[in-house]
Amino acid sequence: MNKFPLLILGSIALSANGQQHMPDKPNIIFILSDDVGYGDLSCYGAKAVQTPSIDNLASKGIRFTHAYACSSTCTPSRYGLLTGQYPWRRNDTGIARGDAPMIISPDQKTVASVLKDAGYETGVVGKWHLGLGEGGFNNQAWNDSITPGPKQIGFDYSFIMAATGDRVPCVFVENQRVARLNPKDPIQVSYTTPFEGEPTGKANPELLKLHPSHGHDQAIVNGISRIGFMKGGKSALWVDENIADTITTKAVNFIERNRNHPFFLYFCTQDIHVPRVPHPRFRGKTTMGARGDAIVEFDWSVGRITETLKRLGLDKNTLIIVSSDNGPVVDDGYKDEAREKLGNHTPWGPLRGGKYSAFEAGTRVPFILSWPGNARKGTSEAMVSQIDLMATLCGLVGQPVPPGSAPDSYNQLEVWLGKSSKNRSCIIEQSTGTLSLVDGIFKYIQPSNGPKTDDFTHTELGNDPEPQLYNLRDDQDEKNNLARQHPEMVKKLSDQLTKSKSNP
Ligand code: NG6
Ligand code: CA
């Protein structure tokens, strides 16, 4: 039953005989920001920061108000997005170290490999965070060809950061080789042992331009201490201030190279993850310090992508999605004044929780789809999930979902294009401590003995030893636990969750 009505403005292109035209191989760009919250964009109500390029896509396309990432942290969220399998079905999809082996096996089908099979040129640019190489931790050939990597799971081209901006190695990896590496200065990486003679954030705080607030006190690169130790690779080290420029240029180059051929680009920005060090030209663009300025930088990246499409005449034939991998966090480990300068801004919008949390702001994220002439314009309240990317894009390009793959992914094309307002049958959200299931207006959070609040980030995690049941329509900030009043609903949803766990 549809509990969230669809609000549609405008219409889709119809031909003279009233039939809708849908090109069979549009270009596809999925732009995934990092840690951008439900309330962080001006088209989702933010006032203290303006995001005109993203708002422009929203005004030409469809903006979802009930869209979910697969998990409230990055690695599992991205695993689900690319494979169509819920990350909690495996026990090795937690936040990956920079020396973790690749989590997605080359035998698995991914969004990239199915689109490649459908004749697309495929590329990934930006944050990867799904592990690289094989044979356990710390087993990557950083000074040679690193395999398996994006190519083995369907990406023809890759220009990636192995993990996160705050984890070593702080280098870009292009087509599975460290970019700009001088062979005379090889890279070494360790997540267990410091390298003798190398300064660390802990021992040498005087070398830092950005200090950690928690953790992040190991290798120092560009005056910022990170998680993990590294040595060497001086010519290859990234400069945080230039990351957005570098990866956006690589994304633009990929589009230019493939202007005459259908392409799929998975563009994952470092913004607005920590360390937040936007280019000086964005500094002071908001009153919120680095976190607000990083949102402006992210919007700039989106603008460069859309300008490129326009310049190349590809804007009409390209489907773009802009979303985020998980909810927002204010202080995620560096003293960047995000908390002090937040003012009245609410990164989580009207929702409760944030990154890491089982409450809605952990996984309910911005999600905008634009495909001029083919997707409707307006706002949709239909429940959608990033887990459906694989089956939906297969539906779009007429490629069958390969048997045995993407078990949790459903073709939601009609909903994603705004032609239907039907909710997904249910959505399972993963937090750092538990699982939740949303079905229509009701949300059930499975009991958990985990901490109620994360000590470092001060996020309410949503863990409770008692079952929780919320009515998201009347109580979207999850303040009123109805579990005792509605034991029958708790049982129904908890049985549904148990069934989904054993039977995708
Ligand atoms: C946490 C890090 C945090 C961030 C997160 C992953 C500490 C104290 N905190 O462990 O800074 O890196 O992992 O974020 O180290 S994610 O968006 O990639 O999932
Ligand atoms: Ca993230």
Of the candidates 156, 143, 59, 160, the residue with the CA atom closest to the CA atom of residue 102: 160
Question: Ligand 1: which of 71, 161, 166 to mutate, most ligand atoms within 8 Å of CB?
Answer: 166
Q: Does the structure show a pLDDT above 90 at 43?
A: yes
Q: DSSP character for 73? A: S
Cα gap 348→76, rounded to integer Å:
20
Q: Which ligand is nearest to the CA of 129?
A: 1
pLDDT digits (tens, 9 = 90+) for 192-237: 999 999 999 999 999 999 999 999 999 999 999 999 999 999 999 9
pLDDT digits (tens, 9 = 90+) for 106-134: 999 999 999 999 999 999 999 999 999 99
Cα gap 274→295, rounded to integer Å:
12
For position 422, what pLDDT does the model report?
94
pLDDT digits (tens, 9 = 90+) for 412-458: 999 999 999 999 999 999 999 999 999 999 999 999 999 999 999 99
Is the separation of the CB atoms in 390 and 409 below 8 Å?
yes
For position 431, what pLDDT does the model report?
98
Cα gap 405→106, rounded to integer Å:
12
Taking CA atoms only, the protein residue closest to ligand 1 atom 17 is 74
Average pLDDT over residues 40-59: 98
Cα of 326 from ligand 2 centre, angstroms: 5
Of the candidates 124, 127, 122, the residue with the CA atom closest to the CA atom of residue 75: 127
Q: Does the structure show a pLDDT above 50 at 400?
A: yes
Q: Does the structure show a pLDDT above 70 at 291?
A: yes
For position 22, what pLDDT does the model report?
66
pLDDT digits (tens, 9 = 90+) for 162-184: 999 999 999 999 999 999 999 99
Average pLDDT over residues 133-162: 98
For position 14, what pLDDT does the model report?
40
Average pLDDT over residues 55-59: 98
* 216 CA closest ligand 1 atom index: 15
Of the candidates 349, 369, 375, 343, the residue with the CA atom closest to the CA atom of residue 361: 349
Is the separation of the CB atoms in 99 and 115 below 8 Å?
no
* 325 CA closest ligand 1 atom index: 17
Average pLDDT over residues 272-279: 98
* 273 CA closest ligand 1 atom index: 17
Taking CA atoms only, the protein residue closest to ligand 1 atom 18 is 74
* 164 CA closest ligand 1 atom index: 18
Cα of 128 from ligand 1 centre, angstroms: 14
Point out the least confidently predicted range of 17-21, 397-401, 484-488. Answer: 17-21
Average pLDDT over residues 247-256: 99
Question: The tokens of 441 are what?
Answer: 């207006």
Give the confidence band of 17 by pLDDT, cuts at 50, 70, 90. very low
Q: Does the structure show a pLDDT above 80 at 51?
A: yes
For position 21, what pLDDT does the model report?
54
Taking CA atoms only, the protein residue closest to ligand 1 atom 13 is 95
Average pLDDT over residues 472-487: 98
* Dihedral class, residue 241 (left if φ above 0, else alpha if ψ from -120 to 50, else beta): alpha
Of the candidates 414, 376, 384, the residue with the CA atom closest to the CA atom of residue 58: 376
Question: The tokens of 255 are what?
Answer: 């589009």
- DSSP track, 462-485: ---SS-EEEETTT-TT-----TTT
Taking CA atoms only, the protein residue closest to ligand 1 atom 8 is 215
Cα of 197 from ligand 2 centre, angstroms: 32
Residue 80 belongs to what H/E stretch? helix 74-83
| Helices (H), ranges, 118-274 | 243-257
Of the candidates 247, 369, 252, 245, the residue with the CA atom closest to the CA atom of residue 307: 252
Q: Which domains does the chain have, with CATH numbers?
A: 23-184+233-416 (3.40.720.10), 427-502 (3.30.1120.10)
* 75 CA closest ligand 1 atom index: 19
Torsions phi, psi of 291, nearest 5? -65, -45
Amino acid at the residue 103: I
Q: What is the mean pLDDT of the chain?
A: 95
For position 343, what pLDDT does the model report?
98
* 355 CA closest ligand 1 atom index: 17
Q: Does the structure show a pLDDT above 90 at 68?
A: yes
Taking CA atoms only, the protein residue closest to ligand 1 atom 3 is 332
Average pLDDT over residues 125-144: 98
3-state secondary structure of 37: coil
Is the separation of the CB atoms in 319 and 312 below 8 Å?
no
Cα gap 129→273, rounded to integer Å:
12
Cα of 95 from ligand 1 centre, angstroms: 7
Question: Ligand 1: which of 72, 73, 335, 355 to mutate, most ligand atoms within 8 Å of CB?
Answer: 73
Cα of 73 from ligand 1 centre, angstroms: 8
199-233 burial code (b ≥16 CB/10 A, e <16): bbbeeeeeebebebbeebbbbbbbebbbbbbbbbb
Q: Does the structure show a pLDDT above 90 at 86?
A: yes
Q: Please state, in angstroms and as integers, the Cα–Cα distance from residue 92 to each residue in 20, 89, 102, 354, following that order.
A: 44, 9, 10, 23
Ligand 1 pocket (Cβ < 6 Å) reads 34-35, 73-74, 95, 129, 164, 166, 214-216, 227, 273-274, 326, 332-333, 456
For position 18, what pLDDT does the model report?
39
Ion ligand 2: residues, CB within 5 A, are 34-35, 74, 325-326
Cα of 325 from ligand 2 centre, angstroms: 5
Residue 453 CA to its chain's centroid (Å): 23
Give the confidence band of 3 by pLDDT, cuts at 50, 70, 90. very low
- DSSP track, 397-427: HT-PPPTTS-TT----HHHHTTS--PPPS-E
Torsions phi, psi of 498, nearest 5? -60, -45
Question: Ligand 1: which of 95, 129, 191, 458 to mutate, most ligand atoms within 8 Å of CB?
Answer: 95
Q: Which ligand is nearest to the CA of 37?
A: 2
Cα of 332 from ligand 1 centre, angstroms: 7
Q: Please state, in angstroms and as integers, the Cα–Cα distance from residue 402 to each residue in 108, 165, 394, following that order.
A: 10, 34, 9
pLDDT digits (tens, 9 = 90+) for 315-362: 999 999 999 999 999 999 999 999 999 999 999 999 999 999 999 999
For position 503, what pLDDT does the model report?
77
Asked whether the bond before 28 is cis by omega within 30 degrees of 0, the reply is no
Is the separation of the CB atoms in 185 and 234 below 8 Å?
yes
Is the separation of the CB atoms in 184 and 234 below 8 Å?
no
Half-sphere exposure of 56 (CA within 13 A, CB side): 12
Cα gap 272→289, rounded to integer Å:
12
Residue 55 belongs to what H/E stretch? helix 52-60
Please give the share of the chain, as a percent, with pLDDT higher than 70.
95
